[in-house]
Amino acid sequence: MEEKFGVDADQFAALVLHQLTVIGEHDAQYHPADFKIVVGSLDLYLNNIFRETAGLPAAERDGRIANFVASVKDDAEPDTWPAVRAMLRPILRPNTFGINSEAGGMRPITRPAFPFIDELVAVDRPHSRSIVSTATVRGWGVSADEVFTAARENLTALVGSGGYQGSGLIHFGDNGDGYCTSWPLVPGWLAGCGDGTHRPIAFVPDVDTLIIAPDVDDLSGLFDHVEQRYREAVRPISPQAYTVDDHGTVIPLDQSPDHRHRALALRARCGLAITEYGAQSAALEEAVDRHLAYPGHDNLAPAFPGTLLYVAADTGPYTTTIWGKDVEYLLPEADRIIFCTKENGEMTTLFEAPFPAVAEITGLTPIPGMTPRRYEVRHWPTPETLTRLEATAIPR
């Protein structure tokens, strides 16, 4: 029977150091406080691969480590636009991916793909994958749009746009080279999937998993499975379901009106929103504690990052947040806002109103460049405004 993975962090780092000596890197230094190994100017962070190989047999674990350290050689390859253009691939990541990066130039280039999900670009080398940053794009002397276009073209050339025909549940597991979770980004690909009778529904719970199911009556078990995979993933993407509209465009399932799985889709949407806003809140609070400022928003005065709350209602799940009197907020974008006052130490709920109505009446606008979107709130509404807001309140 093969030995199972049972080493601690320092022992794991020793295995990585050994593999580095095998490929001729004898000057690597282990930094246990950061759980990384420094090879020249390259930092090899070990957290993800340490978690991903937990429980693997020793031979498979060592093979994964060997592929991981091969990235040292990959990084020695030319990094010019002509050299890398054909290596570009689009990838999906949550809004908060890389949110703790303090160096602005090291932040990845992004553009919105779906709510709370961004499209990024990776350089696909033989043994490694690196995320394209704003600094890298400047060094190449091209625009971010050119990079995204090239990545989409390369992926389309690899997988085509006709989709994958088959009946029943279709499961794609990626080994890091197939980019299966990016396939729905190819125009027409998801619309062409399935049995030709049922509209396809796609899930991408983590970076290595794409599941496509036919739109049949009972998918509650699949939604539960995807949610569990998403919560347990080392590198999650989304618990949401995605389908296509009448034009073949990929949309989140909760945006399909009156869909039979809408309650399940809304729960997944709420879960993704709460997870992303929670990660953002933690990053904002850490930034203020360490630097007394928000990264990329130096002129934004500190305020309380409002919390997104989940509500299970008879009409379907929704999110809400609190706007309390005498508190300055960076409010998340919720489905509803609860207006509260506090007197003699007790909180009193005045009413709950739809977010779009609140935004229109109070003039809320998103803070530029902040994702997920937040709204700066410094003052309690005037009595006149509060009366207008209460007129839009949702009956309890």
Q: Which of 107, 127, 159 marks a domain boundary?
A: 159
- Beta strand 329-332 pairing with 374-377: antiparallel
Q: Are residues 283 and 373 in the same domain?
A: yes
Q: How far apart are the first and last CA of the chain?
A: 62
Residues 6+ apart with CB under 8 A from 86: 154
Question: Which ranges of the chain does DSSP label H, i.e. alpha helix?
Answer: 9-22, 47-52, 58-69, 71-74, 81-84, 134-140, 144-159, 220-232, 262-291, 355-362, 383-390
Structural domain includes residue 57: yes
Q: Are residues 69 and 88 in the same domain?
A: no
Structural domain includes residue 395: no
Q: Are residues 384 and 279 in the same domain?
A: yes
pLDDT tens for 111-120 read 999 999 999 9
Distance CA 357, CA 351 (A): 13
Q: Are residues 279 and 353 in the same domain?
A: yes
Q: Which of 208, 227, 260 marks a domain boundary?
A: 260
Q: Are residues 288 and 354 in the same domain?
A: yes
pLDDT tens for 219-246 read 999 999 999 999 999 899 999 999 999 9
Distance CA 332, CA 346 (A): 24
Structural domain includes residue 68: yes
Is residue 157 within 8 Å of residue 149, measured between CB atoms? Answer: no
Q: Are residues 251 and 151 in the same domain?
A: no
- 67 burial level (CB within 10 Å; 0-12, 13-18, 19+): middle
Exposure string of 266-278, with b = 16+ CB inside 10 Å and e = fewer, is bbbbbbbbbbbbe
Q: Which of 17, 51, 74 marks a domain boundary?
A: 74
- Beta strand 318-324 pairing with 336-343: parallel
- 317 burial level (CB within 10 Å; 0-12, 13-18, 19+): buried
Structural domain includes residue 269: no
Question: Which of 38, 145, 328 lies closest to 46 in space, CA to CA?
Answer: 38
Which tokens go with 341?
């006052």
Per the listing, tokens 């990024």 go with: 120
How many CB atoms within 10 Å of residue 33? 5
- 56 burial level (CB within 10 Å; 0-12, 13-18, 19+): middle
Provide the residue-wise pLDDT of the chain in tens; the chain has 396 residues.
334 446 888 999 999 998 888 888 888 899 998 898 888 767 787 887 888 788 788 888 888 888 778 766 655 555 799 999 999 999 999 999 988 665 555 788 999 999 999 999 999 987 777 889 898 999 999 999 999 999 999 999 999 999 999 889 999 998 777 899 999 999 999 999 998 899 999 999 999 999 999 999 899 999 999 999 999 998 999 999 999 999 999 999 999 888 899 999 999 999 999 999 999 999 999 989 888 888 888 899 999 999 999 999 988 899 999 999 999 999 999 999 999 998 887 889 999 999 999 999 999 999 999 999 999 999 999 999 999 999 999 998
Is residue 25 within 8 Å of residue 39, measured between CB atoms? Answer: yes
Q: How many domains does the chain have?
A: 4
Q: Are residues 284 and 357 in the same domain?
A: yes
Q: Whole-model pTM?
A: 0.83
Q: Are residues 316 and 250 in the same domain?
A: no
Structural domain includes residue 58: yes
Residues 6+ apart with CB under 8 A from 228: none
**Which DSSP symbol is given to 367?**
P
Handedness of CA 51, 56, 58, 60 (dihedral sign): negative
Q: Are residues 34 and 129 in the same domain?
A: no
Structural domain includes residue 4: no
Structural domain includes residue 396: no
> 312 lies in which domain range?
274-390
Q: Are residues 145 and 221 in the same domain?
A: no
Q: Are residues 130 and 46 in the same domain?
A: no
Q: Are residues 211 and 288 in the same domain?
A: no
Structural domain includes residue 318: yes
